[in-house]
Amino acid sequence: MLCLTFVLFVFSFALSTVSKQTPFDLDTSLPYFTSLNTNYEQNFFELWESYVNGYNHPLVLQLKKHDKFYHFDYMSEKNIFINNTVETLPDDLFDEIRHEILSIKTRADLTKFKQNAIYILVRNYELDSLCKSILNFLSRVPHPYFDFIIMNDKPFDPFFINQITKFIINSNNPTTKKWAERLITVKFGLIKAEIWDPLEHKEDYTTIPMSVIESRWEQQEEQGILYGGSRSYRNMCRFQSMNFYNHPSLDGYKYTMRMEPGVEYLCNFDPFEELRDGVKYAFTLSLVEYPETIPSLFTTYLTYKRDEYYRNRELFEFINDGIGGYNLCHFWTNFEVISLDWVRSEEYTRFMEHFDKTAGFYMERWGDAPLRTLAVVELLRIDEVQWLDIGYLHPPFVSCPGDLKTRTERQCTCEPYDFENDILGISLVYMNEDGFEKDDEEEEEEEENNDNFDFDRITINMHDYSCLKKWWRYGEGKSFL
């Protein structure tokens, strides 16, 4: 496993050699300093202790406190922005950057570059699959020197932090490592409990009795609705829909690309350089939602009182079923490039609050993908939305450029789109029971030990689940042809 390299933290408990003073300066007398925060501080104390004693941490560590949000920044000692801003960088250093990243020609270009970030919501136990995705991303993007913003509703443990920063910053390629050390900051953010789970303070969120909410979860679980009984999944969907962009770790950024553990990028691409001017939302996969998860979502949407400006919704036909209802099409948000100025806007906030006040995230099982899609349809123009044909795998679905020239230029490792049979090319993906792609040894072992081996080759007709044809018709058109 990529990330399970054992790292031994050696702690010295001798009072003469270890100071109990930490750089965090956390005030435990504050009324919101909970036991969770205390555990979080202890984790960081141990990490800091290993750092000051020289154990595996040649890094600069900071911790910042923002009204119950905690985040800290991890960067190499060689990072050029420790003591500089874009404006104060020496000319010779800026010239080096220009020669490495050809899209950067002016300091304004560098400022724009530094306003892009990779955003990840993750749990500690997803370390291995996240490391795989990060390595894959770093190998696919020509200049992957973006900051990484990694969030969790539970404290990150020091081993997780240590491994993730190693994988992002310490590349085996000397050139890549040089610029990663100079340019990348990795930020770890803790999400405060009342934002992650509003039911912790239910009286401030909804008047619906908790017994009624839990009864609905039990019913949905019995009905076999995906994540129907999960409170944490609902918390995640709500956070991704209407909160992640307000975390202080994202202050100062303009665009984020969302990454999830276990995904794979199948072609070379640049998530930010490829955006057209003025684009506020970009996606790569568009699927059909499970109808049983959102029975009242579209009805709630229709009751939204919109401003006159938005009455001419150019994108409405993308979600229109032709008889006044919702066709269930949505942008799959596990990969999205999004303008933070847009989602932080008053119009977006008002739109999301309209849905949230119904408690539909908890009474039903609304996902963030259809919510974001409705916001895009309601608030953006066609020219502000872009389909990125990049080659992307999030088991069990995948996209792959249909154009041979594109696949060749992007050095894709995926199957093409079969126009004759209308098949999306994922027939060579082998899935294991955990929903991840099997490695060669797994495949060979299963073939040898099972006479009835099912290759698990997934061949899915595009009409069965994909809304891309709908997008090509009512969105920006078949730009890849």
| 420 assigned to active site | no
Paired sense of beta strands 64-66 and 147-152, if any: unpaired
CA atoms of 98 and 105, how far apart (whole Å): 6
Domains in the chain, CATH or no CATH each:
35-114+154-190 (no CATH), 196-481 (3.90.550.10)
State the virtual CA torsion across 428, 430, 431, 436 in degrees, nearest 10.
Answer: -80
Could you give the C-alpha distances from 454 to 350, 402, 448, in angstroms and in order? 49, 27, 12
Per-residue b or e along 233-248, where b marks 16 or more CB atoms closer than 10 Å to that residue's CB: ebbbbbbbbbbbbebe
pLDDT of res. 21? 33
3-state secondary structure of 199: helix
Per-residue b or e along 328-350, where b marks 16 or more CB atoms closer than 10 Å to that residue's CB: bbbbbbbbbbbbbebbeeeebee
DSSP state of 473: H
DSSP state of 358: T
Which residues have a Cβ under 8 Å from the Cβ of 305 and sit 6 or more positions away?
none
What's CA 163's distance to the chain center, in Å? 19
Q: What are phi and psi of 413, to 5 degrees?
A: -120, 35
Q: Is the dihedral of CA 135, 141, 146, 150 positive or negative?
A: negative
pLDDT of res. 342? 98
3-state secondary structure of 324: coil
pLDDT of res. 427? 32
Residue 19 structure tokens: 């100071």
Q: Which residues of the chain have pLDDT under 70?
A: 1-70, 172, 307-312, 416-464, 477-481
**Beta bridge partner(s), residue 116:** 255
What's CA 377's distance to the chain center, in Å? 21
Residue 32 structure tokens: 């919101």
Residue 216 structure tokens: 């609905």
Paired sense of beta strands 186-190 and 69-76, if any: antiparallel
Residue 357 structure tokens: 């006040």
Which residues have a Cβ under 8 Å from the Cβ of 101 and sit 6 or more positions away?
113, 143, 145
pLDDT of res. 5? 37
Environment class of residue 156 by beta-carbon count within 10 Å: exposed (0-12), middle (13-18) or buried (19+)? buried
Output helix, strand, coil percentages for the chain, rounded to the nearest 5. 40, 15, 45
Over residues 174-185, the pLDDT tens digits come to 888 999 999 999
Catalytic residue among 336, 364, 384, 437: 336
